[in-house]
Amino acid sequence: MSYEFEMSLVGALSYFLGLQIRQLDDGIFITQAKYAKNLVKKFGLENAKHCDTPMSTTLKLSKDASGKSVEQTLYRGMIGSLLYLTASRPDISFSVGYSDADWAGNCDDRKSTSGGCFFLGNNLVSWFCKKQNSISLSTAEAEYIAAGSGCTQLLWMKQMLVDYGFNQGTLTMFCDNMSAINISKNPVQHSRTKHIDIRHHFIRELVENKCIVLEHVGTNDQLADLFTKPLDATRFKTLSRSIGICLVE
């Protein structure tokens, strides 16, 4: 590059466009620790007590009609800053996904929460956590709908890989509910599934055409649990390490 551009060598790259960069023997580690610490200072949380998990396993959240008003500009600024922090990493592609659901976890309307995470090799590159639009009558239905949401994500990212010149065959989605997996392989509409919205049944066609294969994973190895429900400290730290989250000193 020095032949084409006027430049000077000042040592190894350590900071670029707000990203902190560490060059290690086995790769490059990119983090935004400085940005996160500045957020803590900006919103006056330097002396706040640390928590082992984002939410207690015994806490049940519900709507509070008489809740206190908050300063809207400050609140929106905080949410926007956090969204930037979670979205400003390079999400390129993936070939393996995990899907899960927390059945009837919402105390107000008993709707379930879908969650999923997706990997390229051993690297987490995409994830989602979304409240389902309808009430599920069983854990199998909740897991089936969550798997369908995960499949849409897989298909979209597969097309991105094609645009980059990388063609993949059958993609793998891991699910910890055998009933949901069996429903995806059964093309017959029976009494157990005929009430499920037709838009969720496209997963059957994907399985039949071998675009996606649903495989069973044990509950203890279900990484998507991290995105669907509160976990105890031990489980939370175990899953965090499994998806590649580490503590930066």
CATH number at residue 186: 3.30.420.10
Clarify whether residues 218 and 116 are in a common domain: yes
The pTM of the full predicted model, rounded to 2 decimals, is 0.57
User: Using CA atoms, how far apart are residues 126 and 123, in angstroms rounded to an integer?
Assistant: 9
pLDDT at 92: 29
Clarify whether residues 98 and 79 are in a common domain: no
Clarify whether residues 85 and 106 are in a common domain: no
Clarify whether residues 185 and 228 are in a common domain: yes
114 domain-assigned: yes
**CB atoms inside a 10 Å sphere around CB 210:** 10
Q: Which of 89, 115, 145 is the last residue of a domain?
A: 89
Question: Cα–chain-centroid distance for residue 98?
Answer: 9
Residues of the chain under the 50 pLDDT cut:
89-95
pLDDT at 187: 61
CB 144, CB 180: distance < 8 Å: yes
Burial classification of residue 165, based on how many CB atoms lie within 10 Å of its CB (0-12 exposed, 13-18 middle, 19 or more buried): exposed
pLDDT at 223: 84
110 domain-assigned: yes
180 domain-assigned: yes
Three-state DSSP class for 139? helix
Q: In what order do the strands lie in the sheet with 171-175?
A: 123-131, 113-120, 96-102, 171-175, 212-216
233 domain-assigned: yes
Residue by residue, DSSP assigns 181-222 as HHHHH--S--TTTTTS-GGGGHHHHHHHTTSEEEEE--GGG-
Clarify whether residues 36 and 107 are in a common domain: no
User: Using CA atoms, how far apart are residues 176 and 224, in angstroms rounded to an integer?
Assistant: 10
CB 229, CB 102: distance < 8 Å: yes
3 domain-assigned: no
Clarify whether residues 38 and 106 are in a common domain: no
pLDDT at 80: 80
Which residue range is the domain that position 32 belongs to? 11-54+71-89
Number of separate domains in the chain: 2
Output the six-digit token pair for 116.
Answer: 């999923």
CB 132, CB 113: distance < 8 Å: yes
28 domain-assigned: yes
pLDDT at 118: 84
Clarify whether residues 131 and 203 are in a common domain: yes
Q: Residue 44: what are its φ and ψ, rounded to 5°?
A: 65, 40
Q: What is the pLDDT of residues 43-95, one digit of tens each?
A: 888 888 777 777 766 766 667 667 777 778 887 888 788 777 766 543 323 34
4 domain-assigned: no
5 domain-assigned: no
Clarify whether residues 99 and 40 are in a common domain: no
pLDDT at 240: 82
pLDDT at 204: 81
pLDDT at 52: 73
